[in-house]
């Protein structure tokens, strides 16, 4: 089968795409208006008041996780590299059982708005929250750059707008979502986006299989005829075993350290709902990644690798081009609008998690020492959202034309190295101390950034050097164990009696969602006051 010449509408304004895009924006702005009337407190702004059901949160988690990198990137990788493109989808998916069994329930019971709540529960607040904010904001900023540049390129190619206008448009709509609707609006935008993305990708996969008699085997056989049997064998994209392991552990544990994913566990009423929402999300995300595998091979066969790379050398336009082949310009417009909706929703979730780090962790606990009144916290949260939205727009413009694939990898590497080890150690090890937590998080964040900069991705592919000081493209194999080791060693060298004493309280609350209050003598006239050092309980337990 010879792939046809396609792409006549790629790079030209697409009326269908514009109509679907305007329809999506109109619906989500209506949701934002509805949510704004229900967002009056900090709990509602950051955690939707804890009133999101398990099923709703499962769809929102899936929406948060299925970014443009998932839909456009994996389909493009499979189309251009064959079987090996599946390593990304498998790596991301395998991270969800880790979240289910190790993270979801304890995090929901220990925290309130951010993962730093859980890490700092029995430790000293200021140094831990400062260090956690460094990791969170690093992940958020690099993820934002990748999404904003992806949005600019997509709209530039498919809507006929200039790159800069596209970036400003994405940023402006996202700011409206977060600034006025908070987590309630962001959650429902994610749900709408998840339904659209799953529906659009599934329809595209069905259309592809229809051309091969409904048989995936026939599709794979055709790919093998066109590109050789090696297209169905591993080893082309990631030939080095250490490289494969390093990428795999970063994707797997990075999922359990992404701040915008961890934040979602505070939007449900209890820990059971948190676990159940992960069950829903895992099923939705797993089915989606199976679909992207069909889309990748379908694009390789029906569009052709030369046609895909002629439009975008990274292969990111494989799915939209495939939609044009199997369904014409109308289907191309719909898939393009869904891709844009995907970026818009993920950017909103990232911005909200960054705003939580700035306002809840830094302002409320570090600057105001937990004494900020409710109205002040909400005001700072909205200002932080506006600031991050403006920063996202500026970064998107500054990084125009850059290869941003490594930034997504960096985000996962930082999340896996800085956030996950400290979070896990704080929950499971009695001897974990404040200094150990700070050392673990900062070591993970800075070592991941440094080794990515010294890797072949930056030194060879971006800067054009002949070789790189660090041989692996993803540093996870080094930085994740390093973060655990540093946290363990520094904790042993700096024991903290208070942190050890309160570990039993942490264990109890992790499993049953309630604090064991220490015996105290309450002075007359102050009955009912909370003993010092006992964190405020979440909105519901």
Residues 6 or more apart whose Cβ sits within 8 Å of residue 239:
none
Residues 6 or more apart whose Cβ sits within 8 Å of residue 494:
433, 434, 435, 436
Q: Is residue 519 part of a domain?
A: no
Do 76 and 296 meet the contact criterion of CB atoms below 8 Å apart? yes
Q: Is residue 520 part of a domain?
A: no
Do 365 and 354 meet the contact criterion of CB atoms below 8 Å apart? no
The mean pLDDT value for 408-431 works out to 88
How many C-beta atoms surround the C-beta of residue 504 within 10 A? 12
Give the pLDDT score at 55. 92
Do 149 and 394 meet the contact criterion of CB atoms below 8 Å apart? no
CA–CA gap between residue 323 and residue 326 (Å, rounded): 5
Q: How confident is the model at residue 32 (pLDDT cuts 50, 70, 90)?
A: confident
Q: How confident is the model at residue 214 (pLDDT cuts 50, 70, 90)?
A: confident
Over 50: is that where the pLDDT of 527 sits?
Answer: no
Over 70: is that where the pLDDT of 337 sits?
Answer: yes
Total residue length of the chain: 541
Q: How confident is the model at residue 437 (pLDDT cuts 50, 70, 90)?
A: very high
CA–CA gap between residue 31 and residue 29 (Å, rounded): 5
Start-to-end CA distance of the chain, whole Å, equals 59
Total structural domains in the chain?
1
What CATH number is associated with residue 473?
A: 1.20.1730.10
For residue 174, the enclosing domain spans 17-35+45-512
Q: Is residue 338 part of a domain?
A: yes
Give the pLDDT score at 536. 46
Q: Is residue 2 part of a domain?
A: no
CA–CA gap between residue 38 and residue 32 (Å, rounded): 10
Residues 6 or more apart whose Cβ sits within 8 Å of residue 67:
147, 342, 343, 346
CA–CA gap between residue 427 and residue 258 (Å, rounded): 17
CA–CA gap between residue 356 and residue 52 (Å, rounded): 18
Cα-Cα-Cα-Cα torsion 137, 140, 146, 150, nearest 10 degrees, comes to -130
Do 58 and 277 meet the contact criterion of CB atoms below 8 Å apart? yes
Q: Is residue 526 part of a domain?
A: no
507-525 pLDDT per residue, tens: 888 877 754 445 444 455 4
Q: Within the chain, how many helices (H) and strands (E) appear? A: 25, 0
The mean pLDDT value for 305-310 works out to 82
Between 314 and 100, the more confident residue is 100
Q: Which two tokens stand for residue 529?
A: 């006051």
Q: Which two tokens stand for residue 399?
A: 């990084």
Give the pLDDT score at 354. 87
Over 60: is that where the pLDDT of 393 sits?
Answer: yes
Q: Is residue 40 part of a domain?
A: no
Of the candidate ranges 45-49, 360-364, 403-407, 445-449, the one whose mean pLDDT is the lowest: 403-407
Give the pLDDT score at 360. 84
Q: Is residue 169 part of a domain?
A: yes
Q: Is residue 528 part of a domain?
A: no
Q: How confident is the model at residue 319 (pLDDT cuts 50, 70, 90)?
A: confident
Give the pLDDT score at 532. 43
225-280 pLDDT per residue, tens: 888 888 787 766 666 788 888 888 888 888 888 888 888 888 888 888 888 998 89
Q: What is the DSSP string of 124-187?
A: -HHHHHHHHHHHHHHHHHHHHHHHHHHHHHHHHHHT---HHHHHHHHHHHHHHIIIIIHHHHHH
How many C-beta atoms surround the C-beta of residue 79 within 10 A? 31
The mean pLDDT value for 338-357 works out to 83
Cα distances (angstroms) measured from residue 261 to each of 28, 75, 96, 264, 451: 21, 23, 11, 6, 25
Give the pLDDT score at 540. 44
How many C-beta atoms surround the C-beta of residue 309 within 10 A? 16
CA–CA gap between residue 189 and residue 293 (Å, rounded): 26
How many C-beta atoms surround the C-beta of residue 38 within 10 A? 15
Mean pLDDT across the chain: 82
The mean pLDDT value for 331-337 works out to 81
Cα distances (angstroms) measured from residue 455 to each of 92, 281, 461, 472: 22, 33, 9, 6
Over 90: is that where the pLDDT of 422 sits?
Answer: yes
Residues of the chain with pLDDT > 70, as a percent, come to: 89
Residues 6 or more apart whose Cβ sits within 8 Å of residue 183:
39, 44, 45, 46, 47, 48, 267, 352
* CA-wise closest residue to 122 among 502, 410, 376: 502
* CA-wise closest residue to 441 among 186, 81, 78, 132: 132
């Amino acid at each position: 089968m010879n792939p046809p010449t396609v792409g006549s509408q790629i790079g030209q304004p697409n009326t269908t795409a514009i109509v679907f895009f305007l329809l999506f924006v109109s619906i989500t702005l209506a949701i934002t208006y509805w949510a704004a009337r229900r967002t009056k407190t900090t709990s509602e702004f950051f955690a939707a008041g804890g009133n999101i059901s398990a099923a709703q949160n499962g769809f929102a988690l899936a929406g948060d996780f299925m970014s443009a990198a998932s839909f456009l990137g994996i389909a493009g990788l499979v189309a251009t590299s064959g079987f090996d493109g599946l390593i990304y989808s498998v790596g991301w998916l395998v991270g969800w059982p880790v979240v289910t069994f190790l993270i979801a329930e304890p995090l929901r019971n220990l925290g309130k708005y951010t993962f730093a709540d859980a890490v700092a529960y029995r430790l000293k607040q200021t140094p831990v929250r400062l260090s956690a904010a460094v990791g969170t904001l690093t992940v958020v900023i690099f993820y934002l750059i990748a999404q904003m540049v992806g949005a600019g390129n997509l709209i530039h190619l498919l809507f006929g707008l200039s790159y800069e206008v596209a970036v400003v448009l994405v940023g402006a709509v996202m700011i409206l979502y977060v600034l006025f609707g908070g987590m309630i609006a962001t959650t429902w935008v994610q749900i709408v986006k998840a339904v659209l993305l799953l529906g659009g990708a599934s329809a595209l996969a069905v259309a592809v299989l229809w051309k091969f008699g409904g048989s995936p085997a026939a599709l794979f056989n055709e790919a093998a005829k066109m590109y050789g049997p090696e297209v169905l064998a591993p080893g082309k994209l990631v030939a080095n075993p250490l490289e494969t392991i390093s990428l795999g552990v970063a994707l797997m544990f990075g999922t359990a350290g992404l701040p915008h994913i961890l934040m979602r566990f505070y939007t449900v009423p209890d820990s059971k709902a948190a676990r159940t929402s992960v069950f829903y999300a895992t099923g939705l995300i797993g089915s989606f990644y199976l679909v992207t595998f069909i889309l990748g091979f379908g694009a390789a066969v029906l569009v052709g690798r030369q046609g895909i790379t002629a439009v975008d050398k990274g292969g990111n336009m494989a799915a939209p081009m495939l939609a044009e082949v199997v369904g014409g310009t109308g289907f191309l417009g719909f898939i393009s609008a869904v891709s844009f909706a995907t970026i818009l929703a993920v950017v909103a979730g990232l911005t909200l998690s960054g705003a939580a780090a700035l306002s809840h962790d830094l302002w409320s606990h570090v600057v105001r020492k937990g004494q900020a009144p409710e109205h002040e916290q909400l005001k700072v949260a909205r200002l932080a959202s506006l600031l991050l939205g403006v920063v996202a727009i500026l970064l998107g413009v500054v990084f125009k034309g850059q290869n941003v694939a490594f930034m997504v990898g960096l985000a996962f590497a930082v999340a896996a190295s800085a956030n996950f080890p400290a979070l896990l150690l704080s929950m499971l090890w009695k001897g974990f101390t404040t200094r150990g937590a700070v050392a673990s998080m900062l070591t993970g964040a800075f070592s991941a950034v440094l080794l990515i900069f010294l890797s072949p991705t930056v030194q060879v592919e971006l800067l054009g050097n002949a070789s790189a000081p660090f041989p692996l493209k993803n540093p996870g194999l080094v930085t994740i164990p390093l973060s655990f080791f540093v946290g363990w060693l520094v904790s042993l060298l700096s024991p903290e009696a208070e942190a050890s004493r309160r570990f039993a309280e942490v264990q109890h609350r992790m499993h049953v969602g309630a604090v064991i209050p220490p015996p105290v003598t309450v002075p007359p006239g102050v009955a009912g006051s909370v003993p010092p050092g006992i964190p405020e309980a979440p909105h519901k337990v």
